[in-house]
Structure 1
Amino acid sequence: MELEVRHLRALCAIADTGSLHRAARQLGVAQPSLSTQLRRIEHELGGALFTRERTGCRPTPLGRVVLGRARPLVAEMRALVAEARTAAVVAGPQLRIGSTASRALAGWLRRLRARNQEPVLQMDVSPNALLRMLADGQLDVAFVHEVEGSPLRIPDGLRLRVLMEREPQFVSLPPDHPAAAKSEVSLRDLADDRWMVDPTVDGEWDAVQRMFRAAGVNPHVLHGDYYTADALIATGEVVAVCQPTHADSPTIAVRRIHGDPLGVRLLLAARTQEELDSVYPELEEAYEEVALQAPGYRKWLERTGKAEKTGKAEKEGRPSGEGRPTHVRVRT
């Protein structure tokens, strides 16, 4: 079973109403059906999300963690539906953007809207799938990552700009983990932990395996998406690779991995140079914004010299994928 937005919506309804009966009525489903759905969700996540009491349903500690992640996702979906309905009646061309997961997305879309462009977003864990959609004319631009050691299959005719030549991947772990006391952690510090990896991300599983082999460790690995990973990290169940722009929170600590053994290249692709140039500056600004808000990543950028200046990417596109890395400005 894979968790879907409807499952998260059901959890929020149960928490908000404090009752399976009232939640079922709010959702327009039968109570036995909602009870069965809840049991399946709890089985998938590995623990009870609510305690059933005479006075109603109360979230367990795990339930509070999951709800903390579910509520913004449900809210985002509502906003997405509202925006899609609005966009459906907006006259004029729309900008069709494809993207893998990135914390720079929100700022990028916000900047494009401020320029009176109405972006339509297509998310996918597979950068290769997005590049195929771009080549087929289903998208106008695609913001993707290329996992080190697993080159993307770039269709002929696409133009590319490199946002970051090598973005190091960090690790997210429970805040009370002994390794969280350090600013950077060794893979050997995490050799006895369970790791969660999303094998549906192009090149991710192969790269993580290579990283473990190079470090001489063989930890237990669970397969799952990274939203689930965040919930399990919060309860101390797993650790996981994460983007360096992932911010610390009361339930997650983000740390650099010693030696930066895993990296990705961040690319913006389009069919024409004009399309690339029309949206790249806003993406660069949005990425800078989230990079400098992540203390660990900011220190890494300062230490490696990539924060000292803003390197301008090539004006001409390169179908082969060549390009210079963008440097992130640090304002003092």
Structure 2
Amino acid sequence: MELEVRHLRALCAIADTGSLHKAARRLGVSQPSLTTQLRRIENFLGGELFSRERSGCRPTPLGRSVLIRGRPLVAEMNALVAEARAAAARTGGPRLRVGSTASRALPGWLRRLRKRLPATDISLQMDVSANALLRMVAAGQLDVAFVHEVEGCPLRRPDGVAARVLVEREPQFVSMARDHPAAAAPVVDLADLAGDRWMVDPTVDGEWDGLNRVLAAAGINPQVLHGDYHTAASLIVVGEAVAPCQPTSGPRDDMAIRPLRGDPLAVRLLLFTRRQGCEELYTAVYEDLFAAYRDAALRSAAYRSWLERHGSPLLGASAA
């Protein structure tokens, strides 16, 4: 075995996330595969690089030494790849590289972009980690990134990126089984969910910390399940869990989606770009995103009712 850049990328991902599970999600591999890879690297180097603790993975002294030398190599390789791709893009026609966390606005946004820019090759990079997408924008691997920032858990913004706010405060709703007792009311109190298991995806930046903060402030200490939201949906419909969700979530016959009283959970929606770029193009990209988000918001009956109750300017707004 030889130590390669991909191995260093894996070590950096484990150190950055503090978790084999989160690092595997970021790298797009399974956790067992990453664990095996880490064991092989440690065997090759002759010592443990991370100590496995209940709170996560922490670099050992040997691990810190390897990371100090390895990070610049990974950064240089990322820069080389970004520059090569940028050069290829310049010779191969216009490109727009879009990054996004999950959003119901995404299909409408892409549809508008393709209509506005018919001669442009538009690509999409999805990631549960907003911070990972921001690093890709900073490295020149993405042109724009649409992400959410959990309230109270600010994103780590790299140098060289600029943000434009799409929605300053989007409330997060809660999804539950259709026959859940709390579903009978149009607005749900957190206290009504104190006895439920809550499910959260810990790989989404800020998601667990934000929910934990809100539950603690309400004096609630429920059992929390960790997993992705696709798995969560199958548990929610049979009454095994409840989970926070985007207010734009579409209606389902087997699931109820309700706002929380007082809107304790919220995110800020942001569009990131590099500081140096075509301002006219990015303004158009923002306008299309705003229109797509507004359409998604108004299609959700629960969210539209919330917007009406709060007199939201989104009901009659246009992109500023």
TM over 0.5: yes
Q: What amino acid does structure 2 have at the position aligned with 1:126?
A: S
Q: What amino acid does structure 2 have at the position aligned with 1:178?
A: P
Which secondary structure state, in structure 1, belongs to the residue aligned with residue 267 of structure 2? strand
The residue aligned with 1:103 is: 104
Deviations 1:124-159 (A, max 9, x none): 111111001001000010001110001111122222
Question: Identity percentage over the alignment?
Answer: 62
**1:262 CA drift (Å):** 0.7
CA distance in 1, matches of 2:113, 2:315: 26
For structure 1, the residue ranges without an aligned partner over 5 or more in a row are: 6-87, 314-332
1:200-211 aligned within 5 A: 200-211=203-214
The residue aligned with 2:248 is: 245
Which secondary structure state, in structure 2, belongs to the residue aligned with residue 97 of structure 1? strand
Q: What amino acid does structure 2 have at the position aligned with 1:194?
A: R
The residue aligned with 1:186 is: 189
**1:161 CA drift (Å):** 1.1
**1:278 CA drift (Å):** 2.8
The residue aligned with 1:135 is: 138
Q: Among 288, 292, 317, which residue is 2:294 paired with?
A: 288
Decide whether aligned partners of structure 1 residues 145 and 112 sit closer, same or farther in structure 2, where only a CA change above 3 A counts.
Answer: same
CA distance in 2, matches of 1:120, 1:98: 8
Please report the TM-score for the alignment, with normalisation by the length of structure 2. 0.68
CA distance in 1, matches of 2:319, 2:284: 15
8 Å Cα contact 1:160-1:276 kept in structure 2: no
The residue aligned with 1:120 is: 123
Which secondary structure state, in structure 2, belongs to the residue aligned with residue 257 of structure 1? coil
Which secondary structure state, in structure 1, belongs to the residue aligned with residue 316 of structure 2? coil
**1:118 CA drift (Å):** 3.3
8 Å Cα contact 1:172-1:242 kept in structure 2: yes
1:279 aligns with 2:285: yes
CA distance in 1, matches of 2:94, 2:318: 32
Which secondary structure state, in structure 1, belongs to the residue aligned with residue 175 of structure 2? strand
Please report the TM-score for the alignment, with normalisation by the length of structure 1. 0.66
1:264 aligns with 2:267: yes
Q: What amino acid does structure 1 have at the position aligned with 2:104?
A: R
For structure 2, the residue ranges without an aligned partner over 5 or more in a row are: 1-20, 29-88
CA distance in 2, matches of 1:297, 1:178: 21
**1:308 CA drift (Å):** 4.7
CA distance in 1, matches of 2:97, 2:210: 30
Q: Among 168, 171, 176, which residue is 1:173 paired with?
A: 176
CA distance in 2, matches of 1:148, 1:300: 19
CA distance in 1, matches of 2:163, 2:295: 22
The count of residues paired between Structure 1 and Structure 2 equals 231
Q: What amino acid does structure 2 have at the position aligned with 1:185?
A: V
